[in-house]
Amino acid sequence: MLKSAAEKFMVIGQGSATCKSCGYEYKPENGDPDFPIPRGMNFEVTPEDYVCPVCGSPKKQFVASVKVVAGFAENQKYGLGTNGMTGDQKLLLIYGSLLTFFALFIAGYGLQ
């Protein structure tokens, strides 16, 4: 069964990437002074002729770091902001809220 366009999960680029050949990790907070690429530039917007400073592999040999958001891309504009959270963040929110309400409920028995 093929997924329709509405069933695509939201993927957000993190700005960093790792070279598949040597394992070098490009981090936007460091940039690459050898190329020169200034600090703060995400990997997605680096020039097409960018090469790995360690092994010389081309840009297409890098794997970009991405975050998959637990929600469909077309639904990101709805809700109270939780549509942009990852699955782990949603689990923490749900179970943290349940634990907090349980603690408040139990604390209510101590009131006289």
CATH code at position 69 = 2.20.28.10
Per the domain annotation, does 1 fall within a domain? Answer: no
Q: pLDDT digit string (tens) for 29-85?
A: 988 888 888 888 888 888 889 999 899 899 999 998 887 776 676 777 777 777 777
Per the domain annotation, does 4 fall within a domain? Answer: no
Per the domain annotation, does 31 fall within a domain? Answer: yes
pLDDT of 2 reads 56
Average pLDDT over residues 101-109: 94
Per the domain annotation, does 40 fall within a domain? Answer: yes
Give the count of domains, the chain: 1
Per the domain annotation, does 73 fall within a domain? Answer: yes
Give the number of residues written for the chain. 112
Structural domain boundaries enclosing 88: 9-108
pTM of the model: 0.56
| 48 within 8 A of 110, measured Cβ to Cβ | no
Per the domain annotation, does 46 fall within a domain? Answer: yes
How far apart, in whole angstroms, are the C-alpha atoms of residue 91 and residue 104?
A: 20
